[in-house]
Amino acid sequence: MHVAAVLRAAFVSLFLVASAAPSTAEERPTGSSQVFAATPSPGFPEGIAVRGNRVYVAGPATFGLNTVPAVLAYDLKSKALVGTYPITIANPYAQQRALSCIAFGPDGKLYVIEPFVGVIRMDLNAANTQEVYAPFPAPPLTGALPNDLAFDGVGNLYVTDSFQGLIYRIPAGGGAPAVWFQDPRLLGNPAFPFGVNGIRIDKKAATMYVTVTVRADFSGAVLRLPLVDAPTAGDLSEFHVFSPLTGLPGPDGIALAKNGRIYVALAGTSQVAVLSPEGAEIARFNGPAQGPNGSTLPWANPANIAFNDLAGTILVTNHASLVPYDPALFAVFDVKVEDKGVSLP
């Protein structure tokens, strides 16, 4: 065979082999959304955190249910439910139980907010070992609502209280919470009293970011504070304001990217906004999420966000608390992004 013919035959053979080989990276456009996993009854998923090859989801985050809340573990690659960790610590106040947000601590254990109990520390082992890490001074429905949590670089834990407009600090090792910062700008609207809500800490910049879900004018905001021992009112500044002119934005959970961008779950408009390091909105993502067999999942009041760097996505809890009750809406969906998440804690 002529040399040129041999080269052409070899090229064609290599092309056919390459074409038949499966792609090593999923080809998805930025902003595209897919269903990651359904969350079983009682639903209302809120907290979410990624560690190793698993993602952990907590719920239900709603009032009026006397059901056993739990943390669910899913495999990041197979998306299969691989573990269930029911909360075993009894609620001392009422026949209601709930779980809101979760975060891993420097010790590798999972910290969860049970609003009627406090912060619970979980080992996530076969024995489902749990303990109260920090009790709260007042139960929900009496003017308090502990909501989200974040660790700083030395192990202090900060917890937002959406109804009281304040941020607690719990010392490393646990114990009684102390009010670290309180300000009227952290309070919600009297008609919808969800004030300070999501919280994340940029350890390199020693800066805390928090969301205020519904302000007096029905706008929502991301505010920031320096991570100092005793911040003052003058230290609180606006990072970004979400206008209510096109609907109640309702910013909820937030996640920080390594490049300084901030991802914000907009529970009111059922979207995810992306903010630049300077605070400008540079993108906004919408549903629905694509499901199996051509099905779709409407985005319904997304609550919290965690980066899945393995897949180049963010994972978002579909809380579905502000829409007519529909168990089919309780799920986790993902969104293809260009960023990686900061290490937590």
Distance CA 242, CA 256 (A): 18
What total number of domains does the chain contain? 1
Structural domain includes residue 34: no
Structural domain includes residue 135: yes
Closest CA to 224 of 200, 256, 246: 200
Distance CA 174, CA 118 (A): 11
CATH number of the domain enclosing 294: 2.120.10.30
Identify any residues that bridge with 122 across adjacent strands, giving them in sequence order: 110, 130
Structure tokens at 306: 């965690």
Distance CA 336, CA 274 (A): 12
Structural domain includes residue 7: no
Burial of 309 (0-12, 13-18, 19+ CB in 10 A): middle
Structural domain includes residue 116: yes
Distance CA 87, CA 55 (A): 17
Q: Give the per-residue pLDDT at 12.
A: 35
Q: pLDDT digits over 230-276, tens only?
A: 999 999 999 999 999 989 999 999 999 999 999 999 999 999 999 99
Structural domain includes residue 27: no
Q: Give the per-residue pLDDT at 200.
A: 98
Structural domain includes residue 341: no
Structure tokens at 197: 């809500």
One-character DSSP codes across 124-177: -STT--EEEEEE-SS-BTTTB-EEEEEE-TTS-EEEEETTTTEEEEE-TT----
Structural domain includes residue 288: yes
Q: What domain range is 218 assigned to?
A: 39-336
Structural domain includes residue 13: no
Q: Does the predicted TM-score (pTM) go above 0.85? A: yes
Q: Give the per-residue pLDDT at 46.
A: 98
Order across the sheet with 289-290: list the strands.
Answer: 296-297, 289-290, 33-38, 331-336, 313-318, 302-308
Per-residue model confidence as pLDDT tens for the chain (345 residues): 443 343 344 333 333 333 333 433 458 999 999 999 999 999 999 999 999 999 999 999 987 777 899 999 999 999 999 999 999 998 776 667 889 999 999 999 999 999 888 999 999 999 999 999 999 876 665 688 999 999 999 999 999 999 999 999 999 999 999 999 999 999 999 999 999 999 999 999 999 999 999 999 999 999 999 999 999 999 999 999 999 998 999 999 999 999 999 999 999 999 999 999 999 999 999 999 999 999 999 999 999 999 999 999 999 999 999 999 999 999 999 999 999 999 887
